[in-house]
Each structure stands twice: as C-alpha cells, then as structure tokens.
Structure 1
Amino acid sequence: MAKTIRLTTAQALVKFLNNQYIEFDGKKNKMFKGIFTIFGHGNVIGLGQALEEDPGELIVHQGRNEQGMAHAAMGFAKQKLRKQIYACTSSVGPGAANMVTAAATATANCIPVLFLPGDVYATRQPDPVLQQIEQPTNLSISTNDAFKAVSKYWDRITRPEQLMTAMINAMRVLTDPADTGAVTIALPQDVEGEAYGYPEYFFAKKVHRIDRRPPTTDMINDAVKLIKAKKKPLLICGGGVKYSEAWDTFRNFAHKYNIPFGETQAGRGLIVWNDKMNLGGIGETGGLAANIIAKKADLVIGVGTRYTDFTTSSKWLFQNPQVKFLNINVSEFHAYKLDGMRVVADAKAALEAIDSALDKAGGYKSAYVNEIREAKEKYDTEVDRVYHVKYTGKDFVPEVNDALDHEKVFEEFHNITNSYMTQTNALGILNEFLDDKYVVIGSSGSLPGDLQRVWRVKEKNSYHVEYGFSCMGYEVNAALGVKMAEPDKEVYAFVGDGSYMMLHSELPTSIQEHKKINIILFDNMAFGCINNLEIGHGMGSFGTEFRFRNEKTNKLDGGLVPVDFAMNAASYGCRTYKVTTAEELRHALADAKKQSVSTLIDVKVLPKTMVHGYGDWWRVGVAAVSKNPRINKVYEETYKKIKQAREY
C-alpha cells in the first residue's frame, strides 16, 4: 500500500499546486507563481485556512474585484508566454459570478488561468445557504455552472478523493498549447474542509513538458508543393508564433523567401516595425501596407492564427480569385479554418521543416519586386501623417466621419476641457517617448484598433493587447499582472474613459504590492469605438456619448459629462497628471517615469479622432428596414460586400 498523507481537500490542493513544474525547450520552472484571492464564507475557512497554514512557495495576493484580479492573472500568464501562471479563488455566489467574464477572456485568448471558486454544500444539508441560487428543476446547479460555457475544463469536487483526477486533468489542459484556456475547479465549502488520506505520490514533483508537436512528412510535402506553385504569398504572424517562441524562425523564413507578413493582435510585437518584411497589422484593424498586399496575395500562410473576423475582414480581405490558404497551427481545429491546407504542428517546428524541404526542392523566392517596399513606404508616410494630425478650432480633421457634426462636438468638448488634442497625436507622442524596456497594454474601445494600425513596435514582446474577447476593464488590471511578470519594465496601460470606469480594481492593488504601473487614460467622454461604428453605419450618436439626461426631451442628449479621473486615481495613492496639450503630455510622461508608485495621466482627447480603416471591411448586423436613407444605403453596401466574401 502506498503511504498516505491525511489532509483536507484544500490543503491537498495547495500542496499539489506547489509541486507542478513546466518544461519547455529544456527550461524548467515552477508552474504556479501564486494565487489571487478574495475570501468569503465559501472559501476562507477551507482554502484560506490551507493557504494561511502552509502556502508553500505560493505568493498570495489580495484582489479588489474578482474579475479584476483574474485579469491580472491572465496578463501575467500572457506576458510569461503561458509558461507560468496564477490561480484565482473567490467565494460562492457573486464572487464566483464576477470571475466568469475573466474566464471567458482567458479562454477566448487561449491563456491558461486556474479558477477555484467556492461552491454550495455538497451535502445540501443547510440549503439554501447564503448566496446560493436555487433551481427547482435541478438542485445540483450552482452559480459555478456558468463557468462551463467559458472553460476549457470544468469540474466540481463533491468528494475529497475526486481532487486527484480533477487536478491531473486540469494540468493536462493548462499545459496544452493547442487547447488551453480557463480551467475551473469548483470547491463546495464543506468538501474544502473534509479530510482524506491522499497517496503520497499525488504530491510528487510533476514536470509537464510542453513538447513541440512535429509535422508529418506528408504535411510538409503538401505545403512545399503549394508554396512553389504560388508567386505572391503573404504570411500572417499569429499568437502561435509568440507562444512557440518562434519569432526568429518566422522572421528568417520571411526574409529568406521574400515573403512579407501581416500581424494579428496576438502576434503583433514579436518583430520590430521597421523590419523590411513587416507590413504591420492586418485586417479590419490593420494598416495600409498589409491590407494592400493581402488583396492580391495568391497564397496566405497563416502561422498560429485563429483567423478571426478582424484578421480576415469577415473573410472579405483576400480578393485574389486564385488565393489558397496554408494553415500552420498546433490546433487542428484552427488549422481546418478557411478550408486551407493543414500543417498541424508547433509553429517553429513546422517552419523549420518547410524551410528544409524547400531547400531540398531547389529553393523558392516570391515574385515580389518593389511591391513590399512601396507598400511599406505608403504605410510609413501615413503613420507619420496620423501622428501629427492636429485641430486648432479651425482645421478640419480628415479622420472624422464627414456625416458627423464634428465641429460642434469639438467646441463643446474644448469648452469643458480646454483641450484640442487628437487621439492620434497623443499616440504619436507616446510612441516617440517609449523607446526602452516598456510594455503597452490595450484591450477594448478604439485604442486596440489604433494600436494595431499605427503603433510602431520598437522591441520584442512590448505589445500586449487582448482582442480575442475585447474585454472592457482588462487593461488596468492586466497591467498589474504584466508588471509582476516583468518587474524591470515600465508598464503602460492604454485605456479609454469608458473601460476605466468599467473596471480598474487592481490599480489600488498595484499600490499595495509596490508594483508600479502607468495608466494612460484617453478621456473623450464617450464609448468612442462604438460611437464611430454607429455613425459609420448611418446612425447618429445614440447612447454612446456620455451626456446628461435632458429634462426637456427625457433623453441622454444634454451636455457632455466631465470626470476628473486624476482625482480618482490620486485617492488610491497614485501620482497623477492632467493633460490637455502635447507639451503637458511630454512633461507628464517624463515625470511619471521617475516615480516609484503607480501613475495615471488623464489625457483629454477630442472625441471621434480615432484612426479609421485602411481598405478593410467588417460585417456587422445592419437594419434591413429603416426610415433613415443613410442606413438603407449602408445595408445595400453591406450585402455587396457579403457577396465578395468567402462563405466559409
């Protein structure tokens, strides 16, 4: 009989987490750095007791909001390239429900996070307990069942011995490069404290090796045949290149075969902006160069991309009637997309194998001559222009939609803030300033689109944008996780006023933890991205500008609502700045860099001055019937575009 150790379920869980390791390319490290907690009656006496008594090497962090702390955990794991992660625990009920959004964000982005929500009593004896939802048709359902739809693995521990198989399966998913994401292990509060004689070998050191999945010979032969048959290929650099740590291999491949590449949000930031093959962001939020080349490409080689609608412009972008798709992806699910030829393998292993096979087949060179250089020159000129767009009260801003009465809104905003600064001018100043050991973070609103279109990445892994779920509230909270992952770098969260108000809970946690983060808050008194979307589709500014209710109309069409965000952050202990001019922004950035505490720069930017699209299209639902002739026109145009798009 194996030797056993009598522990509670919670104590066994903590001991198990302390003995998990990840190995990748011969490098080995502890898998779990720590655990974020907000304790309540559903987990404090169980898991909380275990962590107080013997946390091992796990660092325990106190969150302020369950969603916020889980976003911090996700930011950490993403910045660590999925090679080290955090767990998150909350009480039963609303605490658990708060984490569901973060679990969805992690799963959509294929980022491993372990969720450990407390749960209702397995015995059901004291039911209904505080915070319990009773479903008369099924008493086994609790709030935690909501995690099922957003988790890659879900389990509920109703007996102490179930922990063993549950956690082995949890590790399987958390370390799976093809199918990782949120893992939820629900812990009924009575079971957390129940004891069991666990076999000692359950707590033995376990090394989870993330192997590079090799491609088959047939896959490589098919890929080589397809590449050699095409003249104008285009690479897409997706998140799989990042997590495979294949950036050098990818870059060398592009240069050797004269194949330009566009970047997805997840794959952006691995190769510097001025690399001669780097066309920048691609698709709906892509830049000028990538979208010019994409339309004529006869082969799209997607490396580690999920082919989201933003990457493909709703399957419309690739207009060459002879275009084919070669999909290199460790996930068979993603490799099957767009009916492409599949190389199901690790990105680095696949590119190396294709490279070797191309050499043996007599080599290859694309037929591009001047097209790549010309596209990049147009793109660089456009970025320079956008960075210097200004408004003085007289000059028209080209980025603003013509249908909008922009001057009236500009003057109203200026009268409140005394600012005429445009969003793109602010980004230009930021890009000029940030040049050494930094990470920029974005997630929602207009900023991710602006960043993918015009941000110039100057060093590897300095671009951290969550756009798989585009979750408002990710930015500030993930910044804490990024700082914990890379404490020697200056971390800048680019966030709109709407997203900041949605959730910035871990800003005070950054003060508590002595982890300095910098918040660059773009205040335009609106949900600017969606305001732009509705205007571009024939509507007015309905429900997207932040306006007082008008007592005469009983609608939200009164004056703009001003907020002093600097005052809010100062109350937490941050060093804060109020900015309305370029000079003030430069001064604030320089001074913020000298600080040892978290900072917030409240930048007042004119509404409706985001970057607009470059030869892209995005399918959204448009009303088929309207009294507005502009909407009717957009509807007609939409279905012309749909006819030009791939059907699957």
Structure 2
Amino acid sequence: MTSTASTAPTRRLTVAQALVRFLAAQYTERDGQRQRLINATWGIFGHGNVAGIGQALLENQHVMPYLQGRNEQAMVHAAVGYARQSNRLRAHAVTTSIGPGATNLVTGAALATVNRLPVLLLPGDTFATRVADPVLQQLEVPYAGDISVNDVLRPVSRYFDRVTRPEALIPAALQAMRVLADPVDTGAVTLALPQDVQAEAFDWPEEFFTERVWQVRRPAPEPGALAEAFHAIRAARRPLIIAGGGVHHSEAEEALKALVDATGIPVASTQAGKGSLRHDHPADLGGVGHTGTEIADDLARTADLIIGVGTRYTDFTTASGTLFAEPDVRFLNLNIAAFDSHKLGALPLVADARMGLEALTEVLRGHRVDETYEAEYRTGKARWERTVDAVYAAEDDSVRPTQTQVLGALDSAVGDQDVVINAAGSLPGDLHKLWRARSPRQYHLEYGYSCMGYEIPAGIGVRLAAPDTPVWSLVGDGTYLMMPTEIVTAVQEGINVNIVLIQNHGYASIGNLAEETGAERFGTAYRYRAEDGTYTGDPLPVDLAANAASLGMAVIRADTVAELRAALAEARASNRPTCVYVETDTRPTAPAPQAWWDVPVAQTATRPAALKAREEYDRHVASRRRHI
C-alpha cells in the first residue's frame, strides 16, 4: 500500500492564532436568525497567555474584539451578563494567565454553570513539554504530574479539555462550541492552554476556519407526554404555573401569555423567571417561594397541580419542601432538560418551553379554570398591589429613604425596557416580592449562585449586548466592597452603566438571617469594635461615593427621598457611567417572608436566642414533604 500527502489547503498559524480565527467563524441559529457565537474576548495577560492568546488577539483585532478587564472573576460576570441578555445565543470568551489568574475564574465559572449560561474560559497552563518545571505560579502535586491549578475548573465546567498538542485543538474547539450552543448542556466551558502549545505553529486545514452554524434546537413534546399533560391539566381544579428562567431563554413569553389568556391559569415566577408575564397582567401573581408574594404562596399551598416551566425548583422556590402542601398535589414539568423535568416526581414534558407552551395551548383549546378561582387570585393580586404601593410610598420626601422606598423611587424612574440588575444581599428578596417587571429582560437577578460582586460587571455585559438599553446595577455596601474594579472598565470603554449604591453599614441580608436563626447578627455589621470586643461601635468612616468617584464615575449623593428621585432622573439622562449614592434608613419595611427557608439552627446551645430559634426551626421542619 502506498500513501500520498494530503493536497487539502492549509494555513500555518500558532495554536492561539488558530483558535482566535476559529472562534470568529462560529455562529448560532434559532428560528432562522443567525448570530455570531463568540463576539469578543475579555483578557488580563500574564506569562501564561500574553505571548500566545495575547499576541493572537493583537494580530486579529479585526475579527475578534478585545475587552480589557481588571479582575478575572469580574470578566466572567460581564460575559455572563452579556449571554443572559442575549438569550444564550451569543457569548464572550475570557482569557487569563496561569496561577491566580486562572483560579480567579472559578467563582465566575460556577455562577455561569449554575445559571446555565454560556461562557468560554481560556486559562493559560504550565508547559505541556515540562521543559521548564516548575514554572512561576505552578502548583506541584507530588502524586500526579499532569495536574495544574486549572483542574479546579473541572467540577464547575460543563466541558473541560487541556490542549496539549496543536492537533488536539480541533476536536476540543468543536466540542466546546457544541456545549456552548446546546440549551441543555450549556454553562462554563474551559479549554486549558499550556503556554508553550499556545505559541506553537501548525499547518491547519483551511476547513477549520470556515463558517460553522450551530443550530439551537427547539424540541417539541412527545405526543404521549403531551396527552398526559392535557389530562392532568383538565383534571386540576387549582392549577398554578411556575415560570422559571427557561421561559426567557426560549423567548417563550408570548406563548406563555397565550396559554394563560386562553385558560386563566395563574402564573407565579422564580427569580430567574420574573417578567415572564408583565406585572399588570391579571394572572401574574409575582414571585413564589421564600421571597414570594402572599397571593402566589397562598395559591402554591392549595394548588392541586403545579406546572413548572423552565424551572430548577431550588429551595427558595419550594420553601425547602414546605410550600406545596395540598395532600394530593401533582407536578407537571415542562423543561428542555430531562434532569429538571423529572424533579418532584413530576409528569415530565421534555421540550423547548415555547414549543411546549404552544402545544399545550392547542390541545387545551376551550378549557378554562373555574371563574371562582380566577376571582380569588385576582382579588389576592389586587390586595398585594396595595401592599407594594404602601412600602414604596414615602409620607415625607425630606427624610432618609428606606430600602423599599429606594425601589419605589427607581420604579418611577425607569422605562419599560430598562434593565435592573442584582444578585445578593437583602435586595433580591425585596425585588422578588415588590418589583413590577414591565418587559421580559427588565428583571435581571442572578440568584442561582447569588454571587456578591456580580452586579457591576454584569451591567457592563448587558450594556454591551444591548447598547441602547439603560442599565441599573443595584448594590449594597457589602457587595460594592467585594468588586468595584470594573467601574474602571466602564469608564474606559464609555459604557454607560448606572449604579445605585445603597449604604447600610453591613451585610443586611445575613444580619437578618443571623437574627432569625439565633446567631444574633454576629459578624454582620461594618462598625468599630466596642469596649466588649464586639462590632457594635460607631459605623466605619468609609466613603464609598468618594471611592466610586476616584475610579472615574460621575457620583450623585442623595440624602432624602426627594433628592433620590432627582438623582435617579439625572443618572438616567446622563451620557457617562453614573453612581447614585444613598444611605438608607435600615428599619425593615418590606413584607415579611411568606414561606420558610431551611437554614439549620444549632441543635444545642446556651444562648436564649438560639434556643428560641431552634424551637421555631423544629416547627417548620415538621411540615416538610418529599415529593416523589
């Protein structure tokens, strides 16, 4: 047998150059709409990537835009914000050096994977040839020579590969794109790139750089499963839809509205699903679960059929297994992921959210819930709206606002298409109960990982995905101190993000939780030590507004409700990144939780607060159910 050399055309490039050119040619397509998959690469350079990916980005700026970040975790957050605003059809890549640059990616990667949002991570790695071993920042593992710090990204990545030879890039890159574009598998994808391999030249087949389109599938429900769903809904007296993030990712909001308009089935939403219906739709009951509204949680307790659409059923949604209390309650889960569709012993309807909702609307033609049920939830919705009006309002505009009054002022300032971003602290609970979402993408809460520091970089990502959309990043002082660094990026790039910076001198959310669970707000206040050694002295003299100004933002200080309203209007009209700084009256004004959340309390203790908290804990635990 004789062999002949291939005559297929090739292109001689380094591995890094080839990867950048490959990424520039990848597209997604759904419903006939084609979009580029990787639209930019964030990067901070060090000895693990500066001469490889860094040089390749410099050489290919005409096909791959570069974005300069200040913190590796924050770069991932910005990429995640971009992907979410893009309904997971577009993404960013993030490159770092080896060592601390790579390990700084872990939190962002976990956030992306938990929330099932695509981001491509390209950390540098140690030498594949091991000619310089150990290199600067290398972790040596005595029992294994092939481990590097990048291996910590394996459990938080949906796909991981280490490209130790040039030709290995081709299958690795193709698998990476497959996962990023798959609505079931998507999340963080990591290609670890040894620094010597990045710079190595190879003759690449020209076909590797041709445009490739990844079809984002919309599977329809199986007829048998659809028939089961039809019978379950027809038999239900008190059905309740729980809308999750899958409604938004599938762009299924209109399909949900059509089903609700036709059947009268009410809708409660998770943090990720809020805005699936406009807040003023008669069947929109607002948030559900521990941070839900009174009417949504009341209906959840008495519902005989829960119809989950694109939800993961986290413990906040189920009130740690205590919310769905009807003895004969059943579950019907419409989800593109079989893993989620089978949760809580449900009838699984494995399908794209929009396709599934449209199919249900068709088979349920002519069916509608009883009019007394509609009247009940509409009355409850009206009652809750009065509650929102009351906590948003300020009797005296000349006083310091409470946190709920801050939300009320913001509600008056934003337009229908503005995006409000938050992730951690006490704000997610208040927002889930109270915010009146006016469009599908207005309510942007990262509550899968609830990661402090997400809001500011995510605001940049959202603004990059929707350049004409006003963006509001809501942060407390605790979150701000975690990660203000990307303010510099926003200023540098002229990305007009508005920050509402709320100063309440500590971790408000954890402080409340500590009080409820017998930990007596221990370690949650930002104060000097008192004579007894506790952090109960005067507030620390930090000036976060001055800090934001020092990083280049325009800063507007608001001391009263009236000044806050004026400041928000000024910020929205501004053409530069602007921070509205407000110190709040920390008295609790939001409605109390309408359902429980399981945070185990000390089973034995000497302090009265812990003993009392344990009694309350045992009472709630007794009502927990396992739905199988």
Q: TM-score, normalised by structure 1?
A: 0.93
Kindly tell me: are residues 130 and 559 of structure 1, through their superposed partners in 2, closer, same or farther at Cα, counting changes over 3 Å? same
Distance 1:317 1:531 in 2: 24
Native 8 Å contact 1:391 1:420 kept in 2: no
Shift of 1:221: 0.6
Native 8 Å contact 1:117 1:185 kept in 2: yes
Native 8 Å contact 1:286 1:613 kept in 2: no
Alignment of 1:445-594 (within 5 A): 445-550=425-530, 552-594=531-573
Shift of 1:391: 8.9
1:144 match: 150
Native 8 Å contact 1:389 1:424 kept in 2: no
Distance 1:640 1:36 in 2: 50
Aligned with 1:539: secondary structure?
Answer: coil
Native 8 Å contact 1:525 1:607 kept in 2: no
Divergent runs of 4+, >6 A: none
1:163 match: 169
Distance 1:609 1:86 in 2: 39
Bigger drift between 162-171 and 535-544 goes to 535-544
1:68 match: 74
Question: Deviations 1:202-236 (Å, cap 9, x if unpaired)?
Answer: 11110001010111111101101111111100001
Which amino acid letter does the alignment assign opposite residue 542 of structure 1?
F
Distance 2:236 2:62 in 1: 56
Distance 1:549 1:463 in 2: 38
Which amino acid letter does the alignment assign opposite residue 611 of structure 1?
A
Which amino acid letter does the alignment assign opposite residue 526 of structure 1?
G
Kindly tell me: are residues 366 and 24 of structure 1, through their superposed partners in 2, closer, same or farther at Cα, counting changes over 3 Å? farther
Native 8 Å contact 1:450 1:610 kept in 2: no
Aligned with 1:355: secondary structure?
Answer: helix
Which amino acid letter does the alignment assign opposite residue 164 of structure 1?
I
1:603 to 582, 604, 619: 582
Native 8 Å contact 2:239 2:307 kept in 1: yes
Native 8 Å contact 2:126 2:148 kept in 1: yes
Shift of 1:50: 0.9
1:358 match: 364
Distance 1:278 1:95 in 2: 44
Shift of 1:419: 6.4
Which amino acid letter does the alignment assign opposite residue 365 of structure 1?
V
Distance 1:556 1:484 in 2: 41
Q: TM-score, normalised by structure 2?
A: 0.96
Distance 2:370 2:352 in 1: 24
Shift of 1:127: 1.0
2:3 match: none
Shift of 1:607: 2.5
2:335 to 298, 322, 329: 329
Native 8 Å contact 1:259 1:366 kept in 2: no
Bigger drift between 157-166 and 531-540 goes to 531-540
1:431 match: 411
Distance 1:161 1:573 in 2: 45
Native 8 Å contact 1:97 1:144 kept in 2: yes
Aligned residues: 620
1:383 match: 388
Alignment of 1:596-635 (within 5 A): 596-609=575-588, 611-635=590-614
2:93 to 87, 93, 100: 87
Aligned with 1:161: secondary structure?
Answer: helix
Shift of 1:353: 1.4
Aligned with 2:500: secondary structure?
Answer: strand
Native 8 Å contact 1:238 1:268 kept in 2: yes
Distance 1:537 1:597 in 2: 43
Question: Deviations 1:251-293 (Å, cap 9, x if unpaired)?
Answer: 1101211100001111112321111000001111111221121
Distance 1:366 1:8 in 2: 67
Kindly tell me: are residues 426 and 471 of structure 1, through their superposed partners in 2, closer, same or farther at Cα, counting changes over 3 Å? same
Shift of 1:639: 2.5
Question: Deviations 1:527-576 (Å, cap 9, x if unpaired)?
Answer: 000000011223322100101133x3333232221321111111122110
Question: Deviations 1:77-125 (Å, cap 9, x if unpaired)?
Answer: 1011111110000100001111111001100100000000001111111
Native 8 Å contact 1:14 1:55 kept in 2: no
Question: Deviations 1:388-416 (Å, cap 9, x if unpaired)?
Answer: 26699xxxxxxxxxxxxxxxxxxxxxxxx
2:378 to 373, 378, 399: 373
Distance 2:39 2:454 in 1: 20
Residue 137 of structure 2 corresponds to residue 131 of structure 1: yes
Kindly tell me: are residues 529 and 390 of structure 1, through their superposed partners in 2, closer, same or farther at Cα, counting changes over 3 Å? farther
2:46 match: 40
Native 8 Å contact 1:80 1:485 kept in 2: yes
The answer for unaligned runs of 5 or more in structure 1 is 393-417
Which amino acid letter does the alignment assign opposite residue 239 of structure 2?
P
Distance 1:291 1:378 in 2: 14
1:312 match: 318
Which amino acid letter does the alignment assign opposite residue 166 of structure 1?
A
Bigger drift between 38-47 and 50-59 goes to 50-59
Question: Deviations 1:113-164 (Å, cap 9, x if unpaired)?
Answer: 0000001111111111111111111121111111011111111011111111
Distance 1:309 1:134 in 2: 39
Kindly tell me: are residues 390 and 539 of structure 1, through their superposed partners in 2, closer, same or farther at Cα, counting changes over 3 Å? farther
The answer for unaligned runs of 5 or more in structure 2 is 1-5
Shift of 1:465: 0.8
1:16 to 8, 17, 22: 22
Aligned with 1:644: secondary structure?
Answer: coil
Alignment of 1:413-432 (within 5 A): 420-432=400-412
Distance 2:15 2:102 in 1: 19
Which amino acid letter does the alignment assign opposite residue 562 of structure 1?
P
Distance 2:374 2:438 in 1: 26
1:246 to 252, 263, 268: 252
Kindly tell me: are residues 516 and 14 of structure 1, through their superposed partners in 2, closer, same or farther at Cα, counting changes over 3 Å? same
Kindly tell me: are residues 610 and 154 of structure 1, through their superposed partners in 2, closer, same or farther at Cα, counting changes over 3 Å? farther
